[in-house]
Amino acid sequence: MNAIVDHVIEDARWQTFGLQAASERAALAVVAELGLEPDLYQMVIMGCDDARIAGLNTEFRDKPVPTNVLSWPSEERGSEFAGEAPDLPEPGSVDDPAHLGDIAIAWETCAREAAEQGKPMEDHVVHLIVHGILHLLGYDHIDDADAELMEATEVRILARLGIADPY
């Protein structure tokens, strides 16, 4: 089996934390929930710090502040109707998996949020990665109906992993 996630570790704290295992766990749960074959899809997850993600947030969203997670889908996959699940992406092959996109996650913001919310860091990080992967797959939360669908999907995936409802 190919790894569904390629990792770029820019902050060594993510290596110590075990970002690779947490993100693989999250990715496999997402594809299982949606009925996708993990060997046919690929994504990149970068573990970075607040300074790096603030730069990315400035560059791509014109928001010069750190955030917990950012995602860049490889293509637009959203549904044209509010509250409707996006179409599933076309699979690649075992030798050439379809690239879903890229995700960046910031250490300091994640650690601070987990502490403030009284959650285990592992649970918070897995939730944020699930959230980011759903964005890669066309889910969003701008519209209320889309937010309800995305949150319900996240809650089901997290329950699969034994993680409490974060909402």
54-84 pLDDT per residue, tens = 999 999 999 999 999 999 999 999 998 999 9
Average pLDDT over residues 101-116: 98
Instruction: Give the separation between CA 123 and CA 110, rounded to whole angstroms.
Output: 11
State the CATH class of domain 5-80+88-160: alpha beta
Amino acid 141: pLDDT? 92
Q: Could you give the C-alpha distances from 152 to 23, 120, 130, 139, 147, in angstroms and in order?
A: 20, 21, 12, 11, 8
| Res 98 pLDDT > 70 | yes
Instruction: Give the separation between CA 19 and CA 120, rounded to whole angstroms.
Output: 14
Question: Can you say which residues are annotated as belonging to the binding site?
Answer: 131, 135, 141
Lookup: tokens for 49: 């710090």
Q: Say if residue 94 is exposed, middle or buried (CB neighbours under 10 Å; 0-12, 13-18, 19+).
A: exposed
Question: Can you say which residues are annotated as belonging to the binding site for Zn(2+)?
Answer: 131, 135, 141
49 and 10 Cβ atoms separated by less than 8 Å:
yes
Amino acid 47: pLDDT? 98
Average pLDDT over residues 150-158: 97
Q: What end-to-end distance do the CA atoms of the chain give, in Å? A: 33
| Res 1 pLDDT > 80 | no
| Res 103 pLDDT > 70 | yes
